[in-house]
């Protein structure tokens, strides 16, 4: 497993397992066990996924040393103040059955994110979080955050796939020394990206699946990537992407597939952000 060094020196496995919408305990345990057996050590969850307990139990029962694991969780939008952020973090840490978190992210740029960041900086300085970052932040949100931040985020976890390549934001993150982390890297099944003929042709040339080609594209862009699956074979296939490289022509062809086609909520949608603060 290749690792990326974040701007604070912490190393993160470049590929991990996402567990969005995996709420069934047995399914969650089975997928985490399959991932561990396949070589995954990076796991990404969030308060709003309602499965931190299950992730924590599965990892606690695994025969893997804590220092080999990289566990990320995220602060949900109904938390808006400094004190609430600290309490929410402590609750997540308890559910995950951990003494510290490898990475903690602000999930969306909803109300109060500068204050939330201040609390996360203190938790970081206390050694309870090894790295802090953001998710779904656009350029304007990063600009506002950095007016008060004393610690630069290590990552921005954003929706990214061949039909939504985030080219401008990708470049900005590079300039800010913030790592681009891709969620929904395979399009979340909301488009025909996995059956795209250009990707299928590239996959055939490399004797790989279309999903593997997409994940390899993310990796070669320097992104951290967290594909989600509950199927053992796909979990195994998704990590089997470190034994080949896409050519410059392959990368150029995939770049040409961009449609700026977002598949999920828009971080600039203020009405949605306001509604999200009422969600549990």
Catalytic annotation, residues: 49
Please report, to the nearest 10 degrees, the dihedral formed by the alpha carbons of residues 182, 186, 187, 188 taken in order: -100
Detail the DSSP E strand segments found in 15-137.
Answer: 17-18, 42-44, 70-75, 101-106, 129-135
Residue 239 to residue 237: CA distance in whole angstroms? 6
79 has which bridge partners? Answer: none
Residue 183's nearest CA partner among 69, 277, 72, 70 is 72
Q: Two tokens at 108?
A: 């969306």
Residue 182's nearest CA partner among 150, 139, 216, 206 is 216
Residues 6+ apart with CB under 8 A from 184: 159, 160, 161, 263, 264
Q: Are strands 3-5 and 11-13 parallel, antiparallel or unpaired?
A: antiparallel
């Amino acid at each position: 497993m290749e690792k990326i060094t974040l701007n604070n020196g912490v190393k993160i496995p470049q590929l991990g397992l996402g567990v969005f919408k995996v709420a069934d305990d047995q399914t969650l345990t089975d997928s985490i066990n399959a991932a561990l057996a396949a070589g995954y050590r990076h796991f990404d969850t969030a308060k709003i996924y309602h499965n931190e307990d299950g992730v924590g139990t599965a990892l606690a029962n695994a025969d893997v040393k804590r220092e080999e694991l990289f566990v990320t969780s995220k602060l949900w939008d109904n938390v808006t103040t400094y004190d609430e952020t600290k309490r929410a973090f402590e609750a997540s840490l308890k559910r995950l059955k951990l003494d510290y978190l490898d990475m903690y992210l602000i999930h969306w740029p909803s109300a109060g994110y500068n204050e939330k960041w201040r609390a996360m900086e203190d938790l970081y300085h206390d050694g309870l979080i090894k790295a802090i970052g953001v998710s779904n932040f656009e350029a304007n949100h990063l600009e506002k955050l950095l007016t008060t931040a004393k610690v630069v985020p290590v990552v921005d976890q954003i929706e990214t796939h061949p039909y939504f390549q985030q080219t401008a934001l990708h470049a900005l993150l590079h300039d800010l020394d913030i790592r681009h982390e891709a969620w929904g890297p395979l399009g979340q099944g909301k488009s025909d990206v996995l059956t795209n003929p250009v990707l299928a042709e590239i996959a055939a040339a490399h004797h790989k699946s279309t999903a593997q080609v997409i994940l390899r594209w993310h990796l070669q862009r320097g992104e951290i990537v967290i594909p989600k699956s509950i199927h053992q074979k796909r979990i195994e296939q998704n990590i089997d992407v470190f034994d080949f490289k896409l050519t410059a022509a392959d990368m150029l062809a995939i770049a040409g597939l961009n449609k700026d086609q977002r598949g999920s909520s828009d971080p600039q949608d203020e009405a949605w952000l306001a509604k999200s603060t009422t969600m549990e």
